[in-house]
A and B are shown apart, each in its own frame.
Chain A
Amino acid sequence: GQQVMQIPQYQHVQEGEDFTTYCNSSTTLSNIQWYKQRPGGHPVFLIQLVKSGEVKKQKRLTFQFGEAKKNSSLHITATQTTDVGTYFCAGLSSNDYKLSFGAGTTVTVRA
């Protein structure tokens, strides 16, 4: 079945630095979605990428979908304490519309 892998598992960042989290699917995706989960909370939808090679920006967050529609990345610039949480990518299968989540990247920020 479809598997979505995400690295790194943990990211410890100095406030103001940039970082990137990567996501890879074993199969071609219909779309890729990104979610953020704060400690003790539930996943919150951030964005959806649909087209091959698509790039979208939300303020300091840049999301990219690979040309083969099997990988994606999230790049955060000038990290702030409000960026703390776990970022999940989730791939939507083009066969059965099943949304499979990666294991997440947990981000901590040093002030």
Chain B
Amino acid sequence: DAGVTQSPTHLIKTRGQHVTLRCSPISGHKSVSWYQQVLGQGPQFIFQYYEKEERGRGNFPDRFSARQFPNYSSELNVNALLLGDSALYLCASSLDLNYGYTFGSGTRLTVV
């Protein structure tokens, strides 16, 4: 079975640009969550989707948006990129809302 897959693995963008990150959860997992991890810190919650509906949103500006598709894959969009958006973006899927998460390898975003 494939794990959680994220694309791309690395990305370099210029300030002000827009970026779309993609995630495919483990087959059968209904919940997908997005996290931002800055070096030396714990993952910070951005969004959670369950059964294609947004279930939670973290303390991130409206420049961040996400959606979940009928096949449970998900996209994270960030508009008007700032230097401070440089981080590892992690996608995690779980069987249900109260199960442990399986993380993807992440997308390393660098904003210059």
The interface of chain A, by Cβ under 8 A from chain B, is: 1, 6, 30-31, 33, 35, 41-45, 47-48, 88, 92, 96-104
Contact = CB atoms under 8 A, between A and B. Distances in A.
Contact of B98 (A31, A42, A102): A31
B97 to A, nearest CB: 4
Closest 5 CB pairs of A and B: A101-B42, A97-B97, A45-B100, A42-B103, A103-B42
Contact of B101 (A30, A45, A96, A100): A45
Given A43-B90, A97-B48, A102 B102 contact: no
Given A43-B90, A101-B44, A103-B41, A96 B105 contact: no
12 contacts: A6-B42, A33-B100, A35-B103, A42-B90, A43-B101, A48-B99, A88-B42, A97-B56, A101-B43, A101-B44, A101-B45, A103-B42
B55 A97 contact: yes
Chain A's interface: helix, strand, loop or mixed, by majority?
strand
A69 to B, nearest CB: 13
Contacts of B98: 30-31, 92, 97
A98 B43 contact: no
A104 B44 CA distance: 12
B74 to A, nearest CB: 16
Contacts of B99: 48
A80 to B, nearest CB: 24
Contact of B48 (A1, A47, A98): A98
A91 to B, nearest CB: 11
A48 B102 CA distance: 13
A12 B99 CA distance: 31
A100 B56 contact: no
Contacts of A100: 45
Contacts of B104: 42
